[in-house]
Structure 1
């Protein structure tokens, strides 16, 4: 679909989405603001314009947005989404501020994920031994590189960066950078923004 036509049609639907889903939803507002902060080069625009920009130009944001509102309406997919092989289990609780960069080949099945979670392609977060009571808990301000595996009933602390290709099967403390297979702490007491 040509971009100008798609944008014109999409504006109508974005207004509807904003009015009925965003205005009173603190988690969606946090998602929009955090994604816009991570991606946009211009600042000081209204929340509606932030949503508009993200839905039009970032289909990976649209994927997360429609997961968040639990909508499978076909027209949304035509206007805003690309085909992603990404699955986020409905049972996963995710606080506001989730950001996805290229969410291809990703499966997320966690007990809880905190605020400002950033992930990249090839991420697997899941249970141990196919037992859904053995799921990870991930803290606030966690950034995960590409092709990372996080498995089992472990806790990942706040303010953590997990390097690309890491396999995390043990608890990770707050304020660290980890990488490797198995993941090991590379740097402690880090200030992560």
Structure 2
């Protein structure tokens, strides 16, 4: 049964690539970023081969892919993504290319905009303040977020920022810095 499932996945992947990935530069960036971040040793020289490799061996990439294409067919999606991920990314959230998720477990992402090369880990909450969806964060380019981080309110996270595990961010964060703690404070500039 496992072998049949694997063959079926491979056939579907070729169709997914042609329909959604071939001409989509944002997905190309996501693929390249994930392939690099995961330090994949597989010799894959084309975007299509990298895409197929990530979809088969990295369910966290598959989760982000299906969110990106807004595919709602859960049976189809379940071939690639384990339902245990329970990660929610609001449809109103705009995310630039290069997103990478190490562990999407128990994460909720509700932001105005997230820039390029966003990386996150499990337990992330990005959301509104006082249940008002107009008061959600804006996140810059090249932001890396550790596990169990909370980013709340109508705040801005600058470019080239690292947010340490367990941080609670409720105020603006400038460019080029590392923040950590509860409430989050600047640890140093980079």
For this structure pair, what is the TM-score category when the shorter chain's length is used for normalisation? over 0.9
Q: Secondary structure at the match of 2:41?
A: coil
- Residue of structure 2 equivalent to 1:82: 82
- Residue of structure 1 equivalent to 2:60: 60
TM-score after normalising by structure 2: 0.95
* Deviation, structure 1 residue 44: 5.2
- Residue of structure 1 equivalent to 2:96: 95
Gaps of 5+ in 2: none
- Residue of structure 1 equivalent to 2:23: 24
- Residue of structure 2 equivalent to 1:183: 184
- Residue of structure 2 equivalent to 1:104: 105
Gaps of 5+ in 1: none
Cα separation, 1, equivalents of 2:51 and 2:66? 12
RMSD, aligned CA:
1.2
Aligned structure 1 segments of 4 or more residues deviating by more than 3 angstroms: none
Q: Secondary structure at the match of 2:65?
A: helix
Cα separation, 2, equivalents of 1:171 and 1:9? 47
Cα separation, 2, equivalents of 1:8 and 1:43? 20
Cα separation, 1, equivalents of 2:154 and 2:41? 39
Q: Could you list the per-position Cα deviations for residues 144-179 of structure 1 after superposition, in whole angstroms to 9, with x for gaps in the alignment? A: 000000000100001110000000000101111110
How many positions carry a matched residue from both structures?
A: 188
- Residue of structure 2 equivalent to 1:37: 36
Q: Secondary structure at the match of 1:153?
A: coil
Q: Secondary structure at the match of 2:187?
A: strand
Q: Secondary structure at the match of 1:49?
A: helix
Cα separation, 1, equivalents of 2:44 and 2:15? 22
Q: Could you list the per-position Cα deviations for residues 9-30 of structure 1 after superposition, in whole angstroms to 9, with x for gaps in the alignment? A: 1111110011010111111111
Q: Secondary structure at the match of 2:71?
A: coil
* Deviation, structure 1 residue 41: 2.4
- Residue of structure 1 equivalent to 2:154: 153
Structure 1 residue 70 and structure 2 residue 64: aligned?
A: no
- Residue of structure 1 equivalent to 2:7: 8
